Amino acid sequence: MHARRRGRSESVRPFRKEAPPWANTDVAAIEKIIVDLRKEGLSTSQIGLILRDRHGVPDVRLITGKRISQILKEKEMEPEIPEDLRNLIAKALGLRKHMAENKNDLHNKRQLQLTESKVRRLAKYYTGTGRLPKDWSYKPESAEILLSR
């Protein structure tokens, strides 16, 4: 967002409309694995990696027609805070701890400002779409308590 480039890999996944022939296509088994992994406390991205690496599922959406988060929402196992927002809050919390020890680190001070700006922008989006309560707001003082849930 602030760096004007794509990402670390700068690559794009191949376009597909249907699952490859070698893929595991048992929809009920995949949904059961997703639910079991969520009960273990794993995030949606971790669940996707495990499905890809251990169970031969290249893309859950191609096989089931739904995203992992949609499956979890149907089973009423959706996390309280969306994963991308949680990751940004964790990054901001780590930067705040670093800034407490290194007060003159101007580069990371700027990075903290950019990260917290992303958190606020994403929180505004999620409150507007109804994924978070309307009165939800990011407070750096209570971020650690928020992540411990």
The DSSP call for residue 15 is: P
The CA-atom distances, in angstroms, between 69 and each of 32, 73, 132 are 14, 6, 15
- Each residue's pLDDT tens digit, 39-50: 999 999 999 999
Is 63 found in the same domain as 22? Answer: yes
SS3 22: coil
Q: Look at the alpha carbons of 125, 128, 130, 133 in this order and tell me if their dihedral is positive or negative.
A: positive
In this structure, the answer to whether residues 20 and 75 fall within a common structural domain is yes
Domain boundary among 79, 103, 123: 79
pLDDT tens sequence across 85-100: 999 999 999 999 999 9
Q: What domain range includes position 100? A: 83-148
Q: Does residue 149 surpass a pLDDT of 80?
A: no
Residues 41 and 56 in one domain: yes
Would you say 133 and 127 are in contact if contact means Cβ atoms under 8 Å apart? yes
Looking at 10-14, 21-25, 133-137, which range is the least confident one?
10-14
Q: Measured on CA atoms in the order 59, 62, 13, 120, is the torsion positive or negative?
A: negative
Higher pLDDT: 10 or 55? It is 55
Q: How far is CA 60 from CA 12, 42, 55, 89, 124, in A?
A: 17, 16, 11, 27, 28
The domain total for the chain is 2
Residue 116 in domain: yes
In this predicted structure, what is the pLDDT of residue 11? 74
Angle (deg, nearest 10), helices 44-55 and 27-39: 130
> What pLDDT is stored for residue 107 in this prediction?
96
Q: Give yes or no: residues 69 and 89 share one domain.
A: no
Same domain membership, residue 30 and residue 87? no
Model confidence, pTM: 0.83
